[in-house]
Structure 1
Amino acid sequence: MARNISRWSLLLLVSTSVFLSVLDIFVVNGAIPSIKKGINGTDTDIQWVIVLYVLGYAAFLITGGRVGDYFGKKPVFIIGMAAFTLASCLCGLSHDAVQLNIGRTLQGISAAFMVPQGIAYIQVLFEDQRSRTKALGIYGSIAGAASVLGQFLGGMLPQVHSFIEGWRLIFLINVPIGIVTVYLAVKYLENTTIVRTKKFDWVGAFLLIVTLIFFIYPMIQGRELGWPVWILFIFGLSVITAVIFFLQQKTRQQKGMSNLIDTRVFTYKSFNIGLCASVFYFMVQDTYFLINVVLLQTGFGISSLDTGLYFMFQGVGYVIASLISIKLIPIYGKFVLIFGVIIMIISLAFHIIILDGIEMNTINIAAVFFIYGIGCGSVLPSLLTVSLRSLPSSLSGMASGTYSTFQQTAIALGISTIGGLFFNILEKPSINQEAYLTAYKTATFGNIVLLIIVAVFLLLLSNNNKPVKLS
């Protein structure tokens, strides 16, 4: 597969893609107030900084995997990594919200092309099931480490005082990593077999992208523009294009043509229920970080470094629980996830109590963040596995890509709805600490409702592995 380098070293090389893509989600969360000040942006601009990354990723993720099959995984991986590096440089050198959000969009799109190739290389490098399972575990651990490191760096780097503003470093640190990765990939990675048995579905890719843009744009921009008729019209168009996309995919499948989404996955009850649970869960995921960071840094005046350290406790709780939950899932199945969701709900209730009372101190804040991390670690690592466990193996690859697209879209939806609710309350003429607390409590209550819905869907999920199709 490669010259003078072990397959485990190549695993670390291709895992750089998921490391950087995850890092750039979490590192931004901790630096939101610093970024807003640096670009003189609005609350809506800040929402776009998060949303455009995940939207670009979601819109092109399935396409990225197909392009790797069609043109070869090595060139797509290299081009994707190089583009991500350049986009990171653009973000770090941006002077206003427009430039930054263009860079963030390009980051998300390039990540959608480089990450699927990294996952696919694992299948090629590790042909036996035992080593492949170990490799996937290492790959997942790297992604988990990136989330914890991102939370810390997002708090620390904005505090750095040097020749350049600290918030810019959260993007510019990607540049040397990306350059080294591209060099090593050119030198050591070998290309995979090119599969061009069927014509690529460019129309489907276009319809998917348009649908996601028409869906998310009104959700973010509508509040700031006062919900004019044309915004509602665009939102309505998203429903129409979604239906057209689904019918187009179904038609191509019936004709034996290549398509982006295998519509057969939606005929399995367990997948549909798991997908619904995942959508509501990921609506909470990034919203939690956004509203907590804004409350702590802007509302309470806590430094970004201290905020980052608080989130480190959340990350540690996540890692500990994820290691335990993975071992419990084969025994207790969905009940491990339900238990994790309950912990998250209880933790959010204590977030409100601690952050709005005389008991607010370093130990208590760290404790509720840690407990929330325990809940997340009990749910997130196995949510995909539980959702896909009843599907035939022939559909698992396609279902995984579909799941990831819905996951990223749900993150954007959560930022636009719960995040929008939070910022809408802050638009009151008098913004003081009490206003931040009111906005925070309202948004957190919204997240609690979403998690209750997640628990309901998980209860409906079958706890066996037998495929059950819809009648």
Structure 2
Amino acid sequence: MALLVIASCQLMVVLDITIVNIALPHIQSSLDFDTTSLSWVVNAYTLTFGGLLLLGGRAGDILGRRRVFVFGVLLFVLASLLGGLAHNSWQLLAARALQGVGGAIASPTSLALISTTFREGPERNRAFGVFAAVSAGGGAIGLLAGGMLVEWLNWRWVLFVNVPIGLLIVLATPRWIKESERRPGHFDIAGAATSTVGMVLLVYGFIRAAQDGWRDALTLASFAAAVVVLVLFVLVERRSPQPITPLRMFADRNRAGTYGMMLSLAAAIFGMFFFLTLFVQNVLDFSPLMAGLAFLPVSAVIAVGAGLASQLLPRFGPKPFMVTGAVLAAAGLAWLTLTDVHSTYAGSVLGPILVFSLGMGMEFVALTLMALSNVETEDTGAASGLLNATQQVGGSLGLSILVTMYGTASRNEAEKRVPEFLSRATPAERVRFERTGVLPDPWGDQVLTSGVSAAFVAAAIFAGVAAVIAVLVIQVRPSDLERLKGDGVGVPPG
């Protein structure tokens, strides 16, 4: 029962990314988002989640893990309720940011509770296995559940569904989970605040550039402020007695390379899901349920790639899988750049996402092992937490850059299509276009597809950067390989 409570929390937090992805086109039309600002529905969650993840884990150690776990789940439930009730865009974005805070508190604490609830040995290993399976499978469940909820009810239920699940978790926790001992420690509030604010400013700068161009005063001010705040973050972490981001974690060449690869690959995978969701529903006219089913092969092939790497990695070491995985991911994304308004799912989408997913399955296992290899016992939590935080922050930053590419390409395409549209438009269509600035189909599909194709070019470059890092930076010594054999395969990132 304790494991059911802990795993249910992790499932709720993990699936909340993909379950909302399927609902994005409906959220866009309901709350009047444009495509560039729509990315904040994803980024508001992932930025606060990634930025506060390490602070959430520290809070559980200092204040008691069960107490902090319950608080995180309650905050997540409240934010989900507020998001489902949102009537305009800023209310939804505020709720999504609050969801990220709740997830950052609950998720690392739920993992830590396994260590305090289950005895070391086979019992704890089985519990970690269940936790890993939930983390890996949550994305697939979210895709399918999101499709069903949006199609059979409406988009608000992808948020409302968290409320009964979260309340059941809160009610069951005191009965089945014991409180952990408190440990003395220090909250690095300044580190958490400067890292999160710095990344928000950086992401805002890219999204603002997509809408208003690179010469916009507010765009330039946002980038300048981001640099100042992020430099301040580094200075704070260097002087903090218990930093939220131990900079010594980056001293090891392999670990620093691993974090760089995760940053790049997360940027690619977040962008792929975001833009493909819009493409299959808006251009291919898939229903939400069909869109969810269309992405299920991704999870299945990721599991295949992870299983293959788990079996062969002790023999060949992690580097071949890090290189091969990144190359496959880049190849799949490069293939996706060929999509156009005449593309079909079977002919143009399925093949690329299968290639991409096989590569990512290999990467998740290899990156986790490399992040945790040769780490002192007291730094294991920080190393694992940093990998997860890097994944969330990289995804947010990468998505904002891809949105910038999308915005520039779609704007240029729209300028080319407007004369053709106006030459054929009825008076009513002209009035509607002057009021909204949105081209109707088929011109609108051409604009969207042009932007999506450009975004996939950037995503392929991100994956290519990860491959270069794997080749040039990662150097696994024989002693490292022996340690990896002894450690076994770790829990994949959420």
Q: State the TM-score, normalized to the length of structure 1.
A: 0.89
Q: Write the deviation string for residues 241-289 of structure 1: whole angstroms up to 9, x where unpaired.
A: 222222222223xxxx322122221211111111111111111111001
Alignment of 1:74-153 (within 5 A): 74-153=66-145
* Corresponding letter in the other structure for 1:239: V
- 1:314 aligned to 2:295? no
* Corresponding letter in the other structure for 2:190: V
Change (3 A) 1:206 1:449: closer
- 1:457 aligned to 2:442? no
Give the alignment partner of residue 177 of structure 1, picking from 160, 165, 180.
Answer: 165
Unaligned runs of 5+ in 2: 418-442, 482-494
Give the alignment partner of residue 13 of structure 1, picking from 5, 19, 36.
Answer: 5
Q: Write the deviation string for residues 99-128 of structure 1: whole angstroms up to 9, x where unpaired.
A: 111110000011000001101111212342
* Equivalent-residue separation in structure 2 for 1:358 and 1:86 (angstroms): 43
Give the alignment partner of residue 233 of structure 1, picking from 211, 221, 232.
Answer: 221
Partner of 2:491: none
Q: Write the deviation string for residues 351-376 of structure 1: whole angstroms up to 9, x where unpaired.
A: 344x4487735476434433332222
Alignment of 1:34-73 (within 5 A): 34-73=26-65
* Equivalent-residue separation in structure 2 for 1:465 and 1:57 (angstroms): 36
* Corresponding letter in the other structure for 1:173: V
* Equivalent-residue separation in structure 2 for 1:365 and 1:84 (angstroms): 34
* Equivalent-residue separation in structure 1 for 2:354 and 2:148 (angstroms): 19
* Equivalent-residue separation in structure 1 for 2:406 and 2:373 (angstroms): 36
* Equivalent-residue separation in structure 2 for 1:218 and 1:345 (angstroms): 26
Contact 2:70 2:173 in 1 (8 A): yes
* Equivalent-residue separation in structure 1 for 2:186 and 2:451 (angstroms): 50
* Equivalent-residue separation in structure 1 for 2:451 and 2:348 (angstroms): 21
Moved more, 344-353 or 235-244: 344-353
* Equivalent-residue separation in structure 2 for 1:96 and 1:330 (angstroms): 52
Shift of 1:129: 4.2
Change (3 A) 1:434 1:363: closer
- Which secondary structure does the structure 1 equivalent of 2:180 belong to? coil
Moved more, 30-39 or 119-128: 119-128
* Equivalent-residue separation in structure 2 for 1:348 and 1:287 (angstroms): 10
Change (3 A) 1:157 1:423: farther
Unaligned runs of 5+ in 1: 1-8
Change (3 A) 1:213 1:342: closer
Give the alignment partner of residue 278 of structure 2, picking from 287, 290, 294.
Answer: 294
Contact 2:201 2:226 in 1 (8 A): yes
- Which secondary structure does the structure 1 equivalent of 2:285 belong to? coil
Alignment of 1:38-437 (within 5 A): 38-161=30-153, 166-196=154-184, 198-227=185-214, 228-252=216-240, 257-332=241-316, 333-353=318-338, 355-356=339-340, 360=344, 362=346, 365-427=349-411, 428-429=414-415, 430=417, 431-437=443-449
* Equivalent-residue separation in structure 2 for 1:73 and 1:258 (angstroms): 19
Give the alignment partner of residue 31 of structure 1, picking from 14, 23, 45.
Answer: 23
* Equivalent-residue separation in structure 2 for 1:364 and 1:245 (angstroms): 43
Contact 2:331 2:355 in 1 (8 A): no
* Equivalent-residue separation in structure 1 for 2:480 and 2:377 (angstroms): 10
Partner of 1:6: none
* Equivalent-residue separation in structure 1 for 2:330 and 2:209 (angstroms): 29
Moved more, 289-298 or 242-251: 242-251
* Equivalent-residue separation in structure 2 for 1:465 and 1:258 (angstroms): 32
Identity %: 24
* Corresponding letter in the other structure for 2:450: T
* Equivalent-residue separation in structure 2 for 1:261 and 1:364 (angstroms): 41
- Which secondary structure does the structure 1 equivalent of 2:155 belong to? helix
* Equivalent-residue separation in structure 2 for 1:465 and 1:194 (angstroms): 39
Q: Write the deviation string for residues 111-152 of structure 1: whole angstroms up to 9, x where unpaired.
A: 000001101111212342443333222111101111111112
* Corresponding letter in the other structure for 1:214: L
Contact 1:426 1:436 in 2 (8 A): yes
* Equivalent-residue separation in structure 2 for 1:129 and 1:461 (angstroms): 32
Q: Write the deviation string for residues 426-461 of structure 1: whole angstroms up to 9, x where unpaired.
A: 232444333233222221121111111111111231
Shift of 1:49: 0.2
Moved more, 111-120 or 57-66: 57-66
